């Protein structure tokens, strides 16, 4: 798997104040990388810096060997798709097809007519994410799980090489979590994309991630496979002692669960 995006000595934050410092991290095609860490650890800040929404304080992000800030913004947008948690405003008077079509803006601009290639890319993205049957529905009528799939379809319509997803499974029930994480994994396995996602619930990491990066205290504390990072001795200094890491009864993958303090 080739490195398509890479953080090199990256320090990022707001107003010159670092949130995450000195991060070096390669991101490879065909791989899902999960960013984990406590609230406030800088997961979203790092994701936004990787996606060129936030300029680094120090270091750089390189897209296929060249700084993303040396490339034209449209060129980066064609290669890197970012799906924030609230990227679709459900109050907008948009149909699902119109919302997904917004993903073609880096290719055609905002004011040019859609081409046949644009239409094909939108249809493929909707089919891939299972929202073709919702094409005429207003975004405001969708469930949380349906909105998440529309977000992914919009990002996929960009035909990117890299997808950055900010907590895509947050607020979803178990059915939609499993469905969405399966789609995310397929983007890497089937479509060959490099996928980076932030994850709050550690129980969701093993089912979808190939590698895990643990952030805490403004630093990158550990990087490796789920089996290497999701260990009690690695997680406890960051999350505290009230967790259990057990093998999944079917797959054997590490499963992280909360543990009530003794005496409670």
What is the CATH number for 13?
3.40.50.300
Quick one: pLDDT at residue 88? Answer: 47
Within a domain: 263: no
Cα–Cα distances in angstroms (integers) from residue 17 to residues 59, 210, 218, 230, in the given order: 14, 31, 11, 30
Distance, CA of 201 to CA of 36 (rounded, Å):
9
Within a domain: 14: yes
Cα–Cα distances in angstroms (integers) from residue 11 to residues 18, 33, 169, in the given order: 6, 19, 27
Distance, CA of 240 to CA of 242 (rounded, Å):
6
Quick one: pLDDT at residue 91? Answer: 57
* Domain boundaries, position 79: 3-258
Quick one: pLDDT at residue 92? Answer: 62
Within a domain: 12: yes
Within a domain: 87: yes
pTM, full prediction:
0.89
Within a domain: 197: yes
Domains contained in the chain, number: 1
Within a domain: 73: yes
Within a domain: 32: yes
Within a domain: 264: no
Q: Are 163 and 155 in contact (CB under 8 A)?
A: yes
Q: What is the pLDDT along the chain (264 residues), one digit of tens a residue?
A: 799 999 999 999 999 999 999 999 999 999 999 999 999 999 999 999 999 999 999 999 999 999 999 999 889 988 999 988 765 455 567 899 999 998 888 876 656 667 788 889 899 999 988 899 999 999 888 887 788 888 889 988 998 999 999 988 877 788 878 888 888 899 899 989 999 999 988 989 998 999 999 999 999 999 999 999 999 999 999 998 888 999 988 888 898 988 866 655
The partner residues of 216 in beta bridges, in order of sequence, read 219
Residues contacting 202, CB < 8 A, separation 6+: 36, 230, 235, 243, 256
Q: Are 23 and 59 in contact (CB under 8 A)?
A: yes
Quick one: pLDDT at residue 224? Answer: 97
219-224 and 162-166 beta bridge pairing: unpaired
What token pair was written down for 52? 């060129």
Nearest to 48 by CA among 19, 17, 74, 22: 19
């Amino acid at each position: 798997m080739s490195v398509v995006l890479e953080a090199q000595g990256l320090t990022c934050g707001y107003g010159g104040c670092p949130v995450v410092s000195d991060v070096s991290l390669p991101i490879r095609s065909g791989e899902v990388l999960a960013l984990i860490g406590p609230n406030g650890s800088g997961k979203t800040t790092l994701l936004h810096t990787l996606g060129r929404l936030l300029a680094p304080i120090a270091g750089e992000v390189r897209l296929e060997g060249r700084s993303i800030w040396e490339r034209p913004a449209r060129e980066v947008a064609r290669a890197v798709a970012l799906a924030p948690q609230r990227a679709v405003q459900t109050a907008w008077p948009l149909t699902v097809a119109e919302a997904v079509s917004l993903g073609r803006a880096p290719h055609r601009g905002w004011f040019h007519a859609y081409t046949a290639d644009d239409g094909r890319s939108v249809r493929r993205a909707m089919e891939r994410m299972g929202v073709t049957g919702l094409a005429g529905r207003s975004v405001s009528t969708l469930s949380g799980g349906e909105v998440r799939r529309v977000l992914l379809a919009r990002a996929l319509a960009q035909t990117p090489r890299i997808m950055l997803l900010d907590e895509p499974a947050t607020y979803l029930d178990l059915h939609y979590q499993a469905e969405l994480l399966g789609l995310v994994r397929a983007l890497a396995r089937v479509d060959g994309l490099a996928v980076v996602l932030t994850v709050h619930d550690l129980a969701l990491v093993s089912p979808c991630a190939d590698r895990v990066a643990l952030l805490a205290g403004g630093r990158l504390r550990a990087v490796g496979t789920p089996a290497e990072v999701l260990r009690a001795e690695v997680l406890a200094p960051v999350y505290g002692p009230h967790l259990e890491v057990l093998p999944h009864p079917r797959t054997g993958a590490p499963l992280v669960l909360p543990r009530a303090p003794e005496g409670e």
